[in-house]
Amino acid sequence: MKSLVLATLLVGCGTHSPASIPSAPKGSPSGAWPEGAPLVTPGERMSYRIQLGGVELAQMTLGVGDISEVSGKKAIVVQGHAKSVGLANMVAAIDDTFTSWIDIETGRPVRFQVDEYETNSKTNIEHTTIDLAARTGDQVPIQFGINDAKPTDEPQTVGMKEVWDYNAFIIALRGWEGPQGSATSVEVFRSRYLWHVDVKIATVGKLATDLGELPAIRIDGHAYKLDRKHGKFPNTDERDFSVWISNDDGRVPLKLAAKTDYGDVKMEITDYQPGNGTRLKP
């Protein structure tokens, strides 16, 4: 159950797909991935519920913090937190934190830190630190450890000029603009592992939410996990998902959904607080 929730945080948990690596979703290739300051406001906070087959498994928050200096760059903190609720908490404890430091000038991630329970454990906590600013060539340094044990090095080979973490990827989707059918491909860290993700602007319409019916853009995606040497991770499914972003000035992530062998997985917004500072991206 925990793996279902964690997979939802990035790409949902998809049904079995062909073993061959697919091309990007059909659409017009677009290099217009967001440039410049990230579209965030200090103090901004979004809350979500995560459901499987209509049953709530966990709650998720995504909050924007303060600006600090990391690796010689001014970066803003964006933190996600997922916690299991109800009966799900008895089956698989989830109390996981995803912290990103995003460059306030470029919108690119500088560092990504994940603290999460080991799968099927309520005592062992995995600590992952990905130093994206220290990338050398196609190698990104990763340190991984459990509880208080000394972390080990697990460098990741990457294949693209730019690499993202989960939080920075969601923020970049907020600022992605283009005509319907625009498509691009990115590489994204969910925790200690890297995913190849293809995304396409699919439709423009409206979405019913707890906050009312809102104008929304639906972005469709397809993803697969990569191994340390940048090959397709063996014996893992490819995954299809959709993300809805509000089609207004706020560009708020509203929903993430995927169909699975276990039922529909959804992450839907329940509350939005606009923050009390000045938005970084005009």
Q: What is the pLDDT of residues 51-64, one digit of tens each?
A: 988 888 889 999 99
Closest CA to 271 of 15, 47, 78: 47
pLDDT tier at 214, thresholds 50, 70, 90: very high
225-252 confidence digits (pLDDT tens) = 999 999 999 988 888 999 999 999 999 9
Q: What is the pLDDT of residue 1?
A: 41
Q: What are 89-96's contacts with CB under 8 Å, separation 24+?
A: 91/1, 92/1, 92/2, 92/5, 92/120, 93/2, 93/117, 93/121, 93/122, 94/2, 94/5, 94/6, 94/57, 94/58, 96/6
The pLDDT tens digits for 25-54 are 454 455 468 889 999 999 999 999 999 888
What is the per-residue pLDDT for 238?
86
**Better-scored residue on pLDDT, 168 or 260:** 168
Q: CA 251, CA 211: separation in Å to the nearest integer? A: 14
Burial string for 144-157 (b: 16+ CB within 10 Å, else e) reads beeeeeeeeeeebe
Coil/strand/helix, residue 28: strand
Structure-block tokens of residue 11: 């790409």
Instruction: Say how many CA atoms lie within 13 Å of 176 toward its Cβ.
Output: 28
Q: For residues 7 and 116, is the Cβ–Cβ distance under 8 A?
A: no
Amino acid occupying residue 254: L
- Give the residue with greater pLDDT, 246 vs 259: 246
| pTM exceeds cut of 0.85 | yes
